[in-house]
Amino acid sequence: MPPIHPTRRRALLRAAGALALGRAALAQTPDTVFWAAAKQPGTVLLMRHAQTEPGIGDPPGLRLGDCSSQRNLSEAGRIQARAVGERFAAHAVAVAEVRTSAWCRCVDTAQLAFGRVQVWSPLNSFFNGQGDGESGATAVLAAARSWRGPGPLVLVTHQVNISRYTGEFTAMGELLAVRHEGGRLRLLARLPA
């Protein structure tokens, strides 16, 4: 067999390297990327509450602390929230702290998924003129900037809040792994519901 010309040899080596990188990238599914990010120090996990009864917003007469005046989790949402907790256990991700909006659908999601809840008003919805989205976002950014762990900080909140923090739209029950960088939250990975 004749010797391979040096130019051809380099081209073959580049192609072999690209193939190896392609195989490594295929092994990095969104699921594996999320769980790896969740285990990194300084990671914050934003979770939109689990599936609710049909509707947008809340009925007229909303009262925090009175779940009968709010749109709540559906049975599918309760199952979805428990499944999130099971996935965390299966991937050996020990959550350090869980903070949630005061809305019952967020409190219930956090309780069912993680077994503990700390209501934190900066996570409250500001949809349709409720609450103060600016001061809430400032508090969330400050918490993310100072978070070191060990383990992730989980923040269970509403779609409108998550969009304000990240510019991303989330489905009910979806989680985003983020990190504070340069005065904003940088998206690391998503975990679909």
> What gap in Å lies between CA 163 and CA 169, rounded to an integer?
6
The CA angle 43-30-27, to the nearest 5 degrees, is 115
Tokens of 145: 């900037």
Q: What is the pTM assigned to this prediction? A: 0.82
The string of pLDDT tens digits covering residues 95-152 is 999 999 999 999 999 999 999 999 999 999 987 656 666 778 889 999 999 999 889 9
